Amino acid sequence: MPTVSVKRDLLFEALGQKYTDEEFDELCFEFGLELDEITSEKEILIREQGGEKAEGASDVVLYKIDVPANRYDLLCLEGLVRGLQVFKEKLEAPRYKRVSPADGGEPQRLVITEETASVRPHAVAAVLRNITFTQERYESFIELQEKLHQNICRKRTLVAIGTHDLDTISGPFTYTAKPPGEIRFKPLSQSREYTAAELMSLYKTDSHLRHYLHIIENEPLYPVIYDSNGIVLSMPPIINGDHSKISLNTKNIFIECTATDLTKAKITLDMVVTMFSEYCDEPFTVEEAEVVYPDGRLSVYPELAYRTETLSGDFINKRVGINESAESIAQLLTRMCLRSEVSGEGDLIQVEIPPTRADVIHACDIMEDAAIAYGFNNIVRSTPRTYTVANQLPVNKLTELLRQDLAAAGFTEALTFALCSEEDIADKLRKNITETRAVHISNPKTADFQVARTSLLPGLLKTIAANRKMPLPLKLFEISDVVLKDETKDVGARNNRRLCAVYYNKSPGFEVIHGLLDRVMQLLDVKPGRNQGYHIQAAEDSTFFPGRCAEIFSCGKSIGHLGVLHPDVISRFELTMPCSAIDIDIEPFL
Amino acid sequence: MHPMADNGLLESVLRLVEKVDGGTDSQDVAADLGVDHQVIVGAVKSLQALGEVISAEQKSSKHWELTGEGREIAEQGSHEARVFNAIPDEGLPQNQLMKMPSGKVGFSKAMSNKWIRLDKAHEGGPRVFKTVEAIEDTVRDKLQLVQKGQSAKLEDKEKNELKKRKLLSEVTVKSYWITKGSSFSTTITKQETELTPEMIASGSWKEKKFKPYNFEAMGVAPDCGHLHPLMKVRTQFRQIFLEMGFTEMPTNNFIESSFWNFDSLFQPQQHPARDQHDTFFISDPALAHEFPQDYLERVKKVHSEGGYGSQGKSDTHTHTHTHTLTLTHTLTHTLTASFTAKFTPVKYFSIDRVFRNETLDATHLAEFHQIEGVVADYGLTLGNLMGILHQFFTKLGITKLRFKPAYNPYTEPSMEVFSYHEGLKKWVEVGNSGVFRPEMLLPMGLPEGVSVIAWGLSLERYVDTHI
């Protein structure tokens, strides 16, 4: 969930009203935002770098507001204020308009060459004319681009935004791709020119930019945008050129978004221009730009598309569980920036989805907005009349019954991780990894999660190792799932419910573990005996001490082993006392 | 530790106590019986242990006692008297007198008492002579008085003088004031520690006295096993769902394919949850097979082009069908399985492990337990979801609930559930919930008009719930 940081006083000024922290928190909650933290730059610095660094930092109060991940229109102060003002019916949602250049001039043009196809094939562009920046607006403009980069742009992999002072460059612009050695320009905040190859090594140590290098690093051609005089605007998705950088005094802005995902590029561009066209001489108008594809196709951006959906008041009422007139529902939706009116036919409502609401893709999204405007907490809570009979999952029912009785038999339940290291299930148990039938994880963050466990024993032995200070004997059990490869399953693996128990004491206590087996079998109503009953017979298993291991058979089928653990197993789990264990599959008893 | 007294002594003490009204001091008892006071103290303790035979109140008193040297003087006379008595009428050479054990001290005291004189000029060396016929050894007399317990006859000044000479010392004695107890008797019955089978058989318990228990002591810890606290909470949650008529879903498939885990949940191809960072992917076995092809095609279409009333997400769909290790959303799989036949309304729950590719620390676990509830029926409303959540949380003892609009890729509307925490005096998030998106339900073959409401919460959060 993205967090937007805004200056409290600036926010209240824009909202035209002062709130207490509690009142504003309440407003956020109702609207689906969360006032996450109230802080200041100074406080943040003190927390992150200590008191000395914070000296002289601003103590202007900041609100950190959590915004839902699909609401790109709320990622800056301008959008938040607009959304809340419309919600509180203090403002009508503005209409965003794409306009042609004044005085019949030619629109700016961005020509895409075919070299971009292999690395970053899409681009869109627009112009904001006669904009007036202040320090705060300028900061917010930069911050919005950063928020979009982190969210919808998926850390610049899908889309990268470049903004330029149009008065320093001249179109038409060319979006092409070139070998890194052939791109040469002075990037933002640097004092001299670099080749693209040099920049990639320069930014290796840059705390911010190094995260984006991987996107093009290994490509033979890097994306680059030139103006008609060969001036580099940007090398997306890494850095802009210094020449065209915007400043507080910039009046006209050329915005380009290059992308691997065209839909998201269009949304991103719409967001930037809808948010900041507010500060243009003619508010909420955006000057069009043309994009020419390698095949000659020409598109005009920004799209700023409005779409109309028709749905019935009854649909909303039935899905939300309220009983409102179509007119009142239309009013609710209008408060969510979805300008709506009753069409006159029955209770049908025409809902206009503005370009800022890319998150609205289905009638259910409109229904949710009606519910939010109505107030989730004003909806009457009612119990569904769905009549059903409950059933337990048989394997869980059996597990629940056995757990209680194992605890009653003096063993304590452990809860251990289902993921572990290869070593835990192989070397430490004196097994070969290939014979374990283990499912392997390709991308574990740590060696503790290389495989799904094939036995509960390692987890229990680790639990004992962590509790060596407790008085002896230690008696533990766990009934849980292991995962085994199984060719017959569609995913090639299956869970298997196992029961494992260990007895750790100065003497091995085989008879204790054996007694536990007898008790478990008694509970499962299986009597001792060779055919329809259960029996154990001497077996060899590398985990157990030779001559101290038996295989357990129930109704003629092998269900597991019990015995005294091999001394090497004991010491590999950093234990010092003899230990006996039982490990059985309980699924045959379902 | 006091010496244990034998029954004979105990009974002697009891007989003495019987004779006096209003009680007696243990020191007097010791004197009467001619035994050391400490022996009587032991006897008192033994009698107390018998129950209410006697009652004894501890008190302390001061008295004068002879020191070792004082006792020697009481027996053999003072040093000066011994010196006097050693001198014959014809006198004694001083050097010889000085060799006596009491010589030095006795000589100077006898000199100051003017009992003797020294003739320094005597021929053959200085010689000591008696100056009086007989003497009175008052020091010895005084000490003998103290020894007889009659120190009161001496004046304080006299006692302090003797104390200065280290012949007397004042000591504090702890003694008991013994009176008859509520079950006083002059005969001793041995107290039994525990009831035995023999006593029950013979009925002898009726005659026995039993040693009282110490109810202040802790009991012996029972020899038993325990259930894991988190699993106890899981049992409680299962119980709540079962009481509410929910059927347990089979979630015992940790390994799911990406299709069931992401695609069927309408998660965009580039959704953060699909990141390598968050999800465990499986390298062995590597590929899944046997997908329901028609369902897969329908899902693919919804993602890329829309459908079922949706604009779609314009996803460039590149299925790899990699397995992912997760449990979070297997409910789609279950739901689909249950809806292929004719639809009937259902209520499902699951409580099982989910996995997240995290590095372990105090606040992050790679595995935790997710609790999920799902209801599928015709015409379910958002109000129904709130109603059932209210019932669910009421069973947990949480009654103050409110709901915040939220975003989940697979539900719309989505609501975060908050409850008022009386201890923290604020609203805290207790779960997430929502109504499943139609784009998710319709490819499964669910009839139009069927809504699926669901909620989820973390089991770990409730581990301190009182069971």
Average pLDDT over residues B203-226: 85
Asked if the Cβ–Cβ distance from B231 to A493 is below 8 Å, we say no
Q: How many helices (H) and strands (E) would you count in chain B?
A: 16, 18
Q: Which pLDDT score, from 0 to 100, does residue A409 have? A: 94
DSSP letter assigned to residue B324: E
Whole-number percent of chain B with pLDDT over 90: 18
B313 and A361 within 8 Å at the Cβ level: the answer is: yes
Residue B323 and residue A492: Cβ atoms within 8 Å?
Answer: yes
**Residue holding tokens 């693919």?**
B300
Interface touch A408/B224, C-beta < 8 Å: yes
Distance CA(B381)–CA(A381), nearest Å, equals: 9
Contacts of A31 in chain B (CB under 8 A): 405
Residue A158 has pLDDT above 90, yes or no: yes
* Nearest chain B residue to A307, by CA: B311
Let me know: does B458 contact B363? Beta carbons within 8 Å. Answer: no
B234, B237, B248, B255: best to mutate for the A interface, most A CBs within 10 A: B255
pLDDT at site A139: 94
ipTM over 0.90? The verdict is no
Confidence of residue B315 (pLDDT cuts 50, 70, 90): very low
For A414, the token pair is 């452990």
Residue B135 has pLDDT above 60, yes or no: yes
pLDDT-derived band at B319 (thresholds 50, 70, 90) equals very low
Of the candidates B241, B381, B439, the beta carbon closest to that of A362 is on: B439
Residue where the block lists tokens 């009467």: B32
Find the range with the poorest average confidence among A72-86, A252-266, A453-467, A480-494. A480-494
**What pLDDT score was predicted for residue A581?**
96
Chain B residues touching residue A388 (CB < 8 angstroms): 245-247, 345-347
Q: Is the pLDDT of residue B132 over 80?
A: yes
Note the pLDDT of residue B83: 84
Mean pLDDT of A181-204: 93
Tell me whether residues A320 and B383 touch, CB distance under 8 A.
yes
Q: Record the pTM.
A: 0.76
Residues of B in contact with A319 (CB under 8 A): 381-382, 435, 451
Q: Which of B316, B387, B402 sits opposite A377 (nearest CB)?
A: B402
Of A319, A372, A446, the CB nearest to B381: A319
CB spacing of A444 vs B309 below 8 angstroms? no
Contact call for residues A187 and A194 (beta carbons, < 8 A) = yes
**How much is the average pLDDT of A490-507?**
92
Q: Tens digits of per-residue pLDDT, A508-521?
A: 999 999 999 999 99
Kindly identify which residue of chain A lies nearest to residue B249, measuring between CA atoms.
Answer: A393
pLDDT at B412 over 80: yes
Residues of A in contact with B432 (CB under 8 A): none
The model's confidence at residue B305, banded by pLDDT at 50, 70 and 90, is low
Residue A235: per-residue pLDDT: 95
pLDDT category, A447, cuts 50, 70, 90? confident
- pLDDT band of B467, cuts 50, 70, 90: very low
A62 to chain B nearest CA, in Å?
Answer: 21
- The residue among B300 and B100 whose pLDDT is bigger is B100
What percent of chain B stands above pLDDT 70?
81
Q: Evaluate if residue A242 carries a pLDDT over 90.
A: yes
**pLDDT at residue A289 is higher than 60:** yes
Residues of chain B in contact with residue A154, where contact means CB-CB under 8 angstroms, are: 270, 272
Cβ distance A493 to B255 less than 8 Å, yes or no, reads yes
Query: What's the mean pLDDT in B365-384?
Result: 90
Binned at pLDDT 50, 70 and 90, residue B1 comes out as: very low
The whole-number pLDDT of residue B262 equals: 53
- At A302, the pLDDT band (50, 70, 90 cuts) reads very high
For residue B2, what pLDDT band results from cuts at 50, 70 and 90? very low
Q: How far apart are the C-alpha atoms of A125 and A303, rounded to whole Å? A: 10
Q: Which of A263, A319, A396 sits opposite B248 (nearest CB)?
A: A396
Cα A133 to Cα A140: distance, rounded to the nearest angstrom: 10
Question: A237: which residues sit within 8 A by CB, 6+ positions away?
Answer: A120, A156, A157, A159, A160, A212, A215, A216, A223, A258
Kindly report the average pLDDT of chain B as a whole number: 80
The minimal CB distance from A439 to the residues B247, B255, B313 is found for B255
Is A492–B287 a contact, with Cβ atoms under 8 angstroms apart? yes
User: What pLDDT score does B209 carry?
Assistant: 80
Q: State which residue of chain A sits closest to B413, comparing Cα positions.
A: A368
Rounded to the nearest integer, the mean pLDDT of chain A is 93
Q: Smallest Cα–Cα separation from A96: which of A299, A268, A275?
A: A275
A323-380 residue pLDDT tens: 999 999 999 999 999 999 998 778 899 999 999 999 898 888 999 999 999 999 999 9
- Which of B254, B388, B406 is nearest residue A383 as measured by Cβ atoms? B388
Q: Where are the alpha helices (DSSP H) in A433-574?
A: 457-466, 510-523, 567-572
Higher pLDDT, B364 or A283: A283
The model's confidence at residue B290, banded by pLDDT at 50, 70 and 90, is low
Using pLDDT thresholds of 50, 70 and 90, give the confidence band for residue B210.
Answer: confident
d(CA B340, CA B346): 13
pLDDT at A296: 92
CA B6/CA B35 separation, integer angstroms: 13
pLDDT at position B272: 47
Nearest residue, CB atoms, A491 vs list B323, B390, B412: B323
Residue numbers in B near A318 (CB within 8 A) = 379, 381
**CB-closest option in B255, B280, B403 to A377:** B403
**CB proximity list for B35: less than 8 A, separation 6 or greater:** B9
pLDDT at B320 over 70: no
- Residue to mutate among A26, A378, A442, with most B CBs inside 10 A, is A442
Point out the residue among A157, A445, A491 whose CB comes nearest to the CB of B256. A491
The verdict on a CB contact (< 8 Å) between B310 and A322 is no
Give me the pLDDT at residue B10, please: 84
Q: Give the pLDDT band of residue B313 (cuts 50, 70, 90).
A: low
Residue range B424-445: mean pLDDT, rounded: 85
Are residues B382 and A321, on separate chains, in Cβ contact within 8 Å? Answer: yes
* pLDDT higher than threshold 50 for residue B454: yes
* DSSP secondary structure, B178-202, as one string: EEE-TT--SS--PEESS--HHHHHH
Size of interface A-B (CB pairs under 8 A): 260
Q: Is A527 helix (H, G, I), strand (E, B) or coil?
A: coil
In the predicted structure, residue A414 carries a pLDDT above the cut 80: yes
Distance of residue A105 Cα from the nearest chain B Cα, in angstroms: 34
| Cβ-based contacts of B442 with chain A (< 8 Å) | none
Closest CA in chain B for residue A311: B309
Q: What local confidence, expressed as pLDDT, does residue A221 receive?
A: 94
Task: Name the residue facing B248 among A362, A392, A481 (closest C-beta).
Answer: A392
Pairing state of beta strands A412-413 and A419-420?
Answer: unpaired
Instruction: Report the share of chain A in percent with pLDDT over 70.
Output: 100
What is the CA A318 to chain-centroid distance, rounded? 32
Nearest CA in chain A to B246: A390
**What is the side-by-side strand order in the sheet with B411-421?**
B247-248, B346-355, B367-378, B450-458, B426-436, B411-421, B401-408
Q: What are the tens digits of pLDDT across the range B236-289?
A: 999 999 999 999 988 777 877 666 555 555 555 545 444 445 677 777 776 666
* Interface touch B404/A440, C-beta < 8 Å: no
pLDDT tens by residue, B149-198: 777 788 888 888 888 888 888 888 788 888 888 878 777 777 778 888 99
Q: Which residues of chain A have a CB within 8 Å of the CB of B355?
A: 418-419
pLDDT at A313 over 90: yes
* CB within 8 Å: A363 and B287: no
Of A54-58, A229-233, B111-115, B288-292, highest mean pLDDT: A229-233
pLDDT (average), residues A229-255: 95
- The answer to whether the Cβ–Cβ distance between A362 and B310 falls below 8 Å is yes
Question: Which pLDDT band, with edges at 50, 70 and 90, does B93 fall under?
Answer: confident
Residue B446 confidence (pLDDT): 81
Give the pLDDT score at B321. Answer: 41
What does the pLDDT look like over B323-366, one tens digit per residue? Answer: 454 434 455 556 666 665 678 899 999 998 888 777 777 777 78
Nearest chain B residue to A439, by CA: B284
* Side chain identity at residue A291, one-letter code: V
For testing the chain B interface, which of A155, A381, A481, A497 should be mutated: the one with the most B CBs within 10 Å?
Answer: A381
- Over residues A217-231, the pLDDT tens digits come to 999 999 999 999 999
Confidence label for B119 from pLDDT (cuts 50, 70 and 90): confident
Residue B295 CB neighbour total at 10 angstroms: 16
- The tens digit of pLDDT for each residue in B323-332 reads 454 434 455 5
Q: Which of B345, B358, B409 sits opposite A386 (nearest CB)?
A: B345
Q: Cβ contact (<8 Å) for A263 and B313?
A: yes
- Contact present, B456 and B441 (Cβ < 8 Å): no
